[in-house]
Structure 1
Amino acid sequence: MGNGMNKVLPGLYVGNYRDSKDIVQLDKYKITHILSIHDAARRLHSDKHYLCIMASDSPDQNLTQYFSLCNDFIHAARLRDGNVLIHCLAGMSRSVTVAVAYIMSVTPLTWREALKVVRAGRAVANPNMGFQRQLQDFETYKLVEERRRLKERYPSLALADSDLAECRVMLDSYQDMLKQKTICEGKCAMGRQCPTGVCRTGSKRQPRTRRPSGAAGAEARSAGLKRSPSTLSTSSTASGYRPRSSPAGLYSYTGPTSRPTRSTSGLSVTRVTDPVSGGTAMAVGGTEYSRRRAASAPATPALSPASSPPGSPHRAMHRGNCAWIIPTLKWDDELM
């Protein structure tokens, strides 16, 4: 996790939060676009294009809803000879899941094969089990449609052959690394040392606390033992509790927000405009925690508009609780 960002495809890198702040690395790999996906994702560099997605590293966090948005951001940047960094906090779970979904969508690979490609480039890649199930469900139910959508939206085949050839090289490299025991599939037995540190094999199981039973248990319950605050009750649901996968609220860093509107997907959407550069961005979703962080965050300097080649396929989209902050693009009203 501390060895810097890693290339998984030409023009596509995966790293952690520290890598996203490292100007030397960003310049070294000529990063032009940054996809930031973690609990407090925000723009850090005024000269980069950003896609910021607020998402936790929790098995019940729904990342599938962002796959199409992320695919558009990554693919359009690579078609324009841009270099994309996908990062979360550790560069192991959320960022890897997004990279795997993209590789699946632009190649014939399955989710397991795509994960091997990412692991060949970044040995610590290890999405949590919830994200792995989401990738499997995405392959089963939505992948065919997503591949068709990408081909219709980006008819250029400039990356198709090179991506597939690179994936084959990475898969061969993965098998060699397995034989040399320099990489792990995440299945090390308890008590055995993992060669890459991916597996949590050094931890010991903690003894479970037994609840008192019989007369002692009755006395404890009658004495008014309180429930654990982590227990979700029906009253908390009724009072407005929302799970992590159901975002609510808005945030933005690019200027004053306009009146919220209602999108066809049922999520509140706010259009924001940069008063200096005139660029437009979209702010969608976020939790109460993220709104407080956004309110206390320092103001982000406006970007100067960059030139975009005519007929560029790089169009704006929005899904879920994310903010796509790309001042050089205009948003299509019909997408609202």
Structure 2
Amino acid sequence: MGINFNEVLSGLYIGNVRSRNYDSSPENCKTCISVGVYDMGKPRWASNYYFYKLLDRQDVSYEVMHTIVFSAAEVIDKCVSRGVLVHCGVGVSRSALVVIGYLMIKKNMSFPDAYALLRSRRSCINPNDGFVEFLKILDAQLTNERRTFLTSQLAKADVNYEDLDIRDSTNAV
């Protein structure tokens, strides 16, 4: 049986339902997040490990929920150092939603950058239109939150800009 998963970042893998098989699972992977696949129980390779989470959602646009993506991002972030496999039935749409969401939320990536990174690691990804729309809205929300946070931090900083020695690097010798 061929490899049914791809490494996205160190310790983070995306795959299809076959990737949970013992003989093809990522080496040293201890956490499995199953997205919308009927519960087949813990994979054999994860049975002795501490965490397994089933995110049970159908692959239809209206099922996309903010809480699922944020919950999965928290799990991945907590467990990535021990290896996390995110899979769905085919490894194309639902698992891509979760992994792109993680990259946006925890790695501060924009939707286009997160999508491009994942596509470079697993060329077959193709989140459905509803998922893409959700991720674009999430991108706008996260961008606005980060902008608001940075603006508030700058407002708190007591910086006298006249004391800064800022030079135009284009005129530097």
User: TM (normalized to structure 2)?
Assistant: 0.75
Contact 2:3/2:24 (CA < 8 Å) preserved in 1?
Answer: no
Q: Could you list the per-position Cα deviations for residues 4-23 of structure 1 after superposition, in whole angstroms to 9, with x for gaps in the alignment?
A: 20001111000000111x11
For these two proteins, the number of residue pairs brought into alignment is: 142
What does residue 167 of structure 2 align with? none
Contact 1:5/1:19 (CA < 8 Å) preserved in 2?
Answer: yes
What does residue 33 of structure 1 align with? 31
What does residue 53 of structure 1 align with? 55
What does residue 106 of structure 1 align with? 106
Letter in 1 for 2:117: V
What does residue 140 of structure 2 align with? 140
Q: Could you list the per-position Cα deviations for residues 17-57 of structure 1 after superposition, in whole angstroms to 9, with x for gaps in the alignment?
A: 0111x11222x521100000114135323224211011011
Contact 2:15/2:85 (CA < 8 Å) preserved in 1?
Answer: yes
Contact 1:37/1:54 (CA < 8 Å) preserved in 2?
Answer: yes
Contact 1:92/1:127 (CA < 8 Å) preserved in 2?
Answer: yes
- Tell me how far apart the structure 2 counterparts of residues 65 and 100 of structure 1 sit (CA, whole Å): 14
What does residue 4 of structure 2 align with? 4
- Tell me how far apart the structure 2 counterparts of residues 130 and 120 of structure 1 sit (CA, whole Å): 22
Letter in 2 for 1:128: N
Residues 17/143 of structure 1: CA separation in 2 closer, same or farther (3 Å cut): farther
Contact 1:4/1:19 (CA < 8 Å) preserved in 2?
Answer: yes
Alignment partner of 2:59: what SS?
A: coil
What does residue 117 of structure 2 align with? 117
For residue 106 of structure 1, report the CA deviation from its aligned partner. Answer: 2.3
Q: Could you list the per-position Cα deviations for residues 156-176 of structure 1 after superposition, in whole angstroms to 9, with x for gaps in the alignment?
A: xxxxxxxxxxxxxxxxxxxxx
Letter in 2 for 1:134: F
Structure with the largest fraction of helix: 2
Unaligned runs of 5+ in 1: 149-336
Answer 1 or 2: higher relative contact order, Cα 8 Å, separation at least 6. 2
Larger Rg: 1
Unaligned runs of 5+ in 2: 149-173
Contact 1:41/1:53 (CA < 8 Å) preserved in 2?
Answer: no
